[in-house]
Structure 1
Amino acid sequence: KIIDKVKSLQLTAYEDKQTDAPLLAKIPEGSKVVNRKENKDLGTVEYTFENGAQVILKQTDFKNNEIQFSGYTLGGTSLAKTEDILNAMYASSIIEECGLGQFSKSDLKKKLAGKDIDITPYIQDLKQGFNGKVAPADLETMLQLLYMYFTDIRKDDEAFKAFMSKLKSQFMFISSNPQFAFFDKFTKIITQNDPRTILIPTEEQLQTVTLEKSIQFFKERFNNARDFKFFFVGNINENEALPLIQKYIGGLPSQAKSEMWKDVSPKFPSGIVQETVYKGKDEKGFVGMAWNTNYEWSSENNIKTNMLIKILDIMLRENVREKESGTYGIQARLDYDKYPKEEISVTIIFGCDPKNQDKLSKVVIKQMQELQKKGPSEENLKKIKEQLIRERETDLKKNNWWIRKLDNMYYYNDLTGSLNEYNNIINKVTAKDIQELANKYFVMNNYVKVYLKPEKK
């Protein structure tokens, strides 16, 4: 009887109403173009719309099925209150987990099935914006998603709870890892326990994150297109793309006000600071060393400073890893910036036997002092020049390089000069130039050194 009843049931096909619904209930009207200008050196066209948004297009033939995309405006987490910093840090991730409009994250994934679209919002220290890429045929859909991030984000309590639960589990797991304890301590020393710089949040700190505060902060950062700059690089036809861009980006909400980041950056400690973290039982050690000082930001100085750090990298690899056989890997990381103030930091981190930490740290210092006293060898200088010129030749044919380049040029307000000057600057750099930079930026009476050692038995 049960089988007969099942056979007699009238089954109707499942209808996924949400997935069948359009992304946007109402298409925006857009706004007019108020200015158009070309930059022949960069091969770009720049549009300004009535709502204040700017769009920069660069058509390339590097890949037929790719358009790289980015956009930004100023502000970032610097505009958050200190007690709400985690809400600001996680806001964009939480919004992504919640979905958009009437679509949950899973529904949105179904809706976009078969389309080649990637668009991700971000909120950094001093700016917020988007990164992504899209196939030319799916450009309108991506622009609709962009429009929704400004006008129709979604609140999903269950998605938020799942995100926070996953986050807590991840931090519980990594906090027991000796390396993460080391990096956490290293960061706290460099920033002098800055309450806004949180690498591994505590359970108590995570309790400050709420869905309401994260949504509110996201809305505040993405409710005004007036100062936004958007970039498109790839197989994008200006005549075909402009009506779509005019509709969705030109139609974004805008206000008369402009926003600017705040300088809430931490101060690097003075003098020589040395500390040791005891964590774990294995005989494994780590060394972290960091320098920070004032910087003179310019395109030419940036190129020369990159050369300095790459030469130091070679010397560290040859002497610490190969000659001393002290580590499997060592790298010097360089960070320089113009905002919120012009400064440069050099960070060197490597793993080694705890017994060799003092010896290898001295080898690192010796290589830096060698550059200060004698400058680089002609062999290393030539090697780096050839490497950088070769890399640039390859980069000039990549959409993802161009999108970063244009984004940075506008962000740093550095549109002057031709890209051809790059090779000329590199070829003119002398060993003395590198030596002078080493003396300026490797400040040997002001740095941080942190060791990771196993727990004492």
Structure 2
Amino acid sequence: MQRLLATLLFLTITAALYSQQRDVESLPDDPRVKSGTLANGLSYILIKNDAVKGYADFCLAQKCGTVLESKEQTGMFELLEALMLKGTRNFPGSEISEYLRKLGVLSDNIIFSTEEDNITYLIKDIPVARENTIDSSLLILYNWIGSLNIDEEDIKEETPFVKSELINRWDAQMRLDEQLLGQLYPESAYAESFRPEYVDMLDNYTSKEVREFYYKWFRPDMQAIIVAGDIDPALLEAKIKSTFVTIPKPMEEQPREYYTPPTLEGTNVALLKDREYSKTKVSINLLKTPLPESYRNTSVPFIQEYFDTAIEKLLADRIREGSIAQNIPIANLEISKGRFLDIWNSENFSITFETLPSTVYSAVSFVNSEIVRAAQYGFTSREISKSKDIYFRELENIYDNRAMLGNDIYLQRALDHFYDGSTLASIELKFEIMKQILFTITQKQVNGYANALLSQEDNVVICCMMPEYSDASTPTAERILAAYDSGELITPEATATEQSPVIFWPDFAGNVAGSIVRETTDPISGALVAELSNGAVVILKSDVQTKSDTILFKAISKGGFSLMNGITPANVSYLNEILNIGGLGNISRPNMERLFSYYDLSVDARITQNTEELYGYASRASLEKLFHAIYMNMAERRADDSAFETYRQGKIYELKSRALSPENAFRDTLLYYSYSNKKSVEPVTAEMMEKLNYAALYEQTRERFANAADFIFIFSGNFDNSLALGYAVKYIGSIPGNQMEREEWMVMPNYLTKGHVFKRFLYNMVTPKTYMNVTLSYGVPYTIENYTLARFTERYIRSRLLSPENRRLATHARINASLNYYPEEIVTLNTIFTTDSLNAAALDSIVESSLSDLAYGKADNRELSQIRQNMQEEFAKSVGNSYYWINALEYRYVENIDFHTGYGTLISSITQEQLQKFARDLLEKGNKISVIMDGTTDDVNTRNLFREDKFIREFFGIE
């Protein structure tokens, strides 16, 4: 670990000398930033961001968290978080919430985060045009720092919600992480930070105990005020100095101590099981010492960032390619550098992947062989050259678009600086430093760093997480270690990386160029519309007002799996995974992804119920390759039997383990009740996957993309129309097309369930929680007016559900309204919650009462006015966005409806009467599907319990 640091510093100094820079030195702060520390220890970081006119984010950051709680103090920080909106010295009761609501701050822009080592209280998008608003916003932070009202009544009221939230987080992943912490670092506070059985202690906390805890940890010397947005930093600095200096300095200093994990000898293997975990996931962790704080405000982290990201991507490419070549099932591969198990004073280079229980050994051995190969023999000059190009392009993109960056980017930089000493240097300075240094870095230097990063004998942790069952395929820790060690036994012949085949962009195989039959201008968007000789329609929207050089693209055709055999809504996700598995031309999918990454473009395919689609993006420099990739996706789709077989084996295991997860059980049940055609939502089984005929499926999917005349091709961004049109003629015009064989989708009878359905059932869980879904629907015409009314309704109900008094009822809440045209014209309002059994009825009541308020003229007019204003502002911003025009042109040319003209005016003109009628129809005439799954630790005899229910009997085949 020290060798890695020494190597990094040596390489940094060497690179600095090559670029004629001085030795490693501290970097100046971004000129946009004002920062400092008051006499009482309070820090402040103020950042001017001209990109967000009229708004700013106000944040209180604190260097304390749940790891500081003793067993007897479980939940104290969460309880304090809950009390932050219950009253302070200057804002009694709910005045903070009311004040922010009057300002127009949405409920979901009040964001509190309590983690193991830090706490962040954030209010986003506060309008700051008026100075008194800035004063009041600072006063809220002032009150949170040390003027919180802590009353017995408020504690008693909030305690049940805090307990519910803590318990609902205790899922399979968290339980497995706690097992690992207990095995590796049993003496650390992280290993004992929370247990569900501890939460009852919350019932006994007195206001005196909570107040003492509050004053112990909420101290100015551990806190920072951060403001980012359209502000005058000098003015805010003066206000902070005059106001916050009155907060007293703590009488006794109590420095915050951070736990440092001890070095683990050798390679440690942890085999962890949980009965609700539904996959087998392996991680190989190379634990490091974090970069010393004295180097964090220098150019060292910039150079380290390049080294790390380059090695992460190059190693991932090799593992993906090799696993397919050797038929080793490895899925969801992630390679990253970060903290280990959220321990603050730690660093970890992690290779994580999913596999099968029966292939854990071969997968671990193979992955380690690639780690060893990279460590000992490095990467080729071509690989490294490409990694530099990719890194610099991404850095240049950030630099070019720096004037458009949101407040969240600057806020995160400020938090990183406060919490761990990261630099506040400007984007411009980072760009200039790396522009000088990056291309002077040699192959030898990159490979030297790779050797230091990937080679170590101690502090290695291999973790295998899997379901809690035993059979012949269950791995053992001893054999996992042996497999890992065997991966180091690679021969010199296997490491000849310079002789590895080089992947080049393929030659264009088209030989019949098309021509333009008709060329017009779309009257609504001003886009160029060209019909080609093969029947394809190409739409070029090239005047989008954005500084980004990214061009978005989408191609849509009518048909989808409504014209295919054996595909249903339940198995379409597998169809789309298989659809993209084979690659293009004679190039495998992993190698095609490497080319896409290098040339900064992407093209993927998907099939929905009624459409087949291609979608993706490209930088302006790769525009021609984007058109070529579209051609290959339609004319040169590639089958890959080996890749499919590896995929199939992984999915068979996944499907066998699927029911272990309560989330999956709830999702399958919800799907069943939501649709009237029960056959169409029959879950995919392992047996179905075993029998899947890849050749037949490949042929069906190939046919869906075979006729260019079926497709509308839409491009949006900053590009030259004549250049793009020439590429369209060359590449899209070469795709076979027959206008006489244009298709229409068939209407599949996958209709939403009508009427009122209520289903509540029990499910055995390790930690009981309640999953709840309420779906309201009503048949309405597919018009822009109904689309707008649906958005109003969704936002109003979201604001009610996420209000401070209601958001505590659910750990997770998701609200979505959609207007659908296929297979029927219908509006849906869907709400999904994770809560406890006692709060389910309250949440249902909030949805009903909020809709009722809209329906009968009782809605909060201030809330509706703010929603209207927010929608207008979002629309004004969106018309300069390429994504907006892709969707607007799809609506117009595929669905034959104009969702752009008059939309801004419509937002302003929607009346109370229109909203009332829309909500009243949904409430009084619409359909309602409520599905609630309550967790229980009881030994529920599923067959006997479900035997009483007709749906369950049919669904699970119980006689």
Query: 2-side partners of 1:285 and 1:313: how far apart?
Result: 20
Look up the match of 2:786.
301
Look up the match of 2:914.
433
Instruction: Give the match's secondary structure for 1:454.
Output: strand
When residues 330 and 443 of structure 1 are mapped into structure 2, their CA distance, relative to the original with a 3 A threshold, is farther
Which of 226-235 and 324-333 deviates more?
A: 324-333
Aligned to 2:821, which of 338, 352, 355? 338
Give 1:237 shift. Answer: 0.4
Give 1:174 shift. Answer: 4.4
Deviations 1:93-122 (A, max 9, x none): 324221111111233234445211111111
Query: 2-side partners of 1:399 and 1:451: how far apart?
Result: 40
Look up the match of 1:267.
751
Which of 120-129 and 255-264 deviates more?
A: 255-264
Query: 1-side partners of 2:582 and 2:807: how far apart?
Result: 51
Which of 70-79 and 348-357 deviates more?
A: 348-357
Supply the AA of the counterpart residue of 1:344: V
Look up the match of 1:405.
888
Query: 1-side partners of 2:523 and 2:937: how far apart?
Result: 64
Is 2:603–2:615's contact at 8 Å kept on the other side of the alignment? yes
Look up the match of 2:368.
none
Look up the match of 2:865.
382
Corresponding position: 1:31 with 2:514: yes
1:117-156 counterparts in 2 under 5 A?
117-156=601-640
Look up the match of 1:188.
672
Supply the AA of the counterpart residue of 2:832: I
Q: Normalising by structure 2, what TM-score?
A: 0.44
When residues 367 and 113 of structure 1 are mapped into structure 2, their CA distance, relative to the original with a 3 A threshold, is closer
1:364-379 counterparts in 2 under 5 A?
364-379=847-862
RMSD: 2.6
Supply the AA of the counterpart residue of 1:289: V
Instruction: Give the match's secondary structure for 2:737.
Output: coil
Aligned to 1:197, which of 655, 671, 681? 681
Deviations 1:399-439 (A, max 9, x none): 12222222222222124x863x2222111112221111001
Instruction: Give the match's secondary structure for 1:367.
Output: helix
1:242-281 counterparts in 2 under 5 A?
242-255=725-738, 256-279=740-763, 280-281=765-766
Q: Normalising by structure 1, what TM-score?
A: 0.89
Look up the match of 1:43.
526
Instruction: Give the match's secondary structure for 2:787.
Output: helix
Aligned to 1:313, which of 772, 793, 798? 798
Instruction: Give the match's secondary structure for 1:205.
Output: helix
Query: 1-side partners of 2:558 and 2:711: how far apart?
Result: 8
Corresponding position: 1:355 with 2:853: no
Give 1:15 shift. Answer: 6.0
Which of 224-233 and 273-282 deviates more?
A: 273-282
Give 1:227 shift. Answer: 2.3
Look up the match of 2:690.
207
When residues 418 and 330 of structure 1 are mapped into structure 2, their CA distance, relative to the original with a 3 A threshold, is closer
Supply the AA of the counterpart residue of 1:404: N
1:68-83 counterparts in 2 under 5 A?
68-82=552-566
Query: 2-side partners of 1:379 and 1:356: how far apart?
Result: 28
Corresponding position: 1:218 with 2:688: no
Query: 2-side partners of 1:171 and 1:133: how far apart?
Result: 33
Look up the match of 1:452.
933
Deviations 1:209-264 (A, max 9, x none): 22112211111201111121001111210111222110111111112211111111
Query: 2-side partners of 1:111 and 1:352: how far apart?
Result: 45
When residues 445 and 110 of structure 1 are mapped into structure 2, their CA distance, relative to the original with a 3 A threshold, is closer
Q: What residue ranges of structure 1 are gaps of 5+ in the alignment?
A: 1-5
When residues 267 and 353 of structure 1 are mapped into structure 2, their CA distance, relative to the original with a 3 A threshold, is same
Deviations 1:171-215 (A, max 9, x none): 4454311122112101101114632335x5221232342211221
Query: 2-side partners of 1:183 and 1:316: how far apart?
Result: 22
Query: 1-side partners of 2:891 and 2:606: how far apart?
Result: 16
Q: What residue ranges of structure 2 are gaps of 5+ in the alignment?
A: 1-490, 939-959
Aligned to 1:102, which of 562, 577, 586? 586
Aligned to 2:903, which of 422, 441, 452? 422
Give 1:26 shift. Answer: 2.6
Look up the match of 1:14.
499
Query: 2-side partners of 1:160 and 1:72: how far apart?
Result: 26
Instruction: Give the match's secondary structure for 1:350.
Output: strand
Instruction: Give the match's secondary structure for 2:815.
Output: strand
Which of 170-179 and 337-346 deviates more?
A: 170-179
When residues 263 and 58 of structure 1 are mapped into structure 2, their CA distance, relative to the original with a 3 A threshold, is same
Aligned to 1:288, which of 767, 773, 781? 773
Corresponding position: 1:241 with 2:724: yes
Give 1:391 shift. Answer: 0.6
Supply the AA of the counterpart residue of 1:292: S
Query: 2-side partners of 1:349 and 1:64: how far apart?
Result: 35
Is 1:182–1:277's contact at 8 Å kept on the other side of the alignment? no
Query: 1-side partners of 2:937 and 2:726: how far apart?
Result: 67
Deviations 1:69-92 (A, max 9, x none): 111010001112246877765344
When residues 269 and 422 of structure 1 are mapped into structure 2, their CA distance, relative to the original with a 3 A threshold, is closer
Query: 2-side partners of 1:246 and 1:25: how far apart?
Result: 13
When residues 174 and 135 of structure 1 are mapped into structure 2, their CA distance, relative to the original with a 3 A threshold, is same
Query: 2-side partners of 1:271 and 1:87: how far apart?
Result: 26
When residues 283 and 264 of structure 1 are mapped into structure 2, their CA distance, relative to the original with a 3 A threshold, is same
Query: 1-side partners of 2:673 and 2:591: how far apart?
Result: 44
When residues 88 and 327 of structure 1 are mapped into structure 2, their CA distance, relative to the original with a 3 A threshold, is closer
Supply the AA of the counterpart residue of 1:126: N
Is 1:33–1:47's contact at 8 Å kept on the other side of the alignment? yes
Deviations 1:321-353 (A, max 9, x none): 624832234343212122332112221111211
When residues 12 and 188 of structure 1 are mapped into structure 2, their CA distance, relative to the original with a 3 A threshold, is closer
Query: 2-side partners of 1:456 and 1:110: how far apart?
Result: 48
Instruction: Give the match's secondary structure for 1:249.
Output: helix
Instruction: Give the match's secondary structure for 2:890.
Output: helix
User: RCO greater where, 1 or 2, for CA within 8 Å and sep 6 or more?
Assistant: 1
Give 1:40 shift. Answer: 4.7
Is 1:122–1:128's contact at 8 Å kept on the other side of the alignment? yes
Supply the AA of the counterpart residue of 1:277: F
Instruction: Give the match's secondary structure for 1:259.
Output: coil
Corresponding position: 1:53 with 2:536: yes
When residues 112 and 296 of structure 1 are mapped into structure 2, their CA distance, relative to the original with a 3 A threshold, is closer
Which of 333-342 and 107-116 deviates more?
A: 107-116
Instruction: Give the match's secondary structure for 2:786.
Output: helix
Give 1:374 shift. Answer: 2.3
Is 1:51–1:253's contact at 8 Å kept on the other side of the alignment? yes
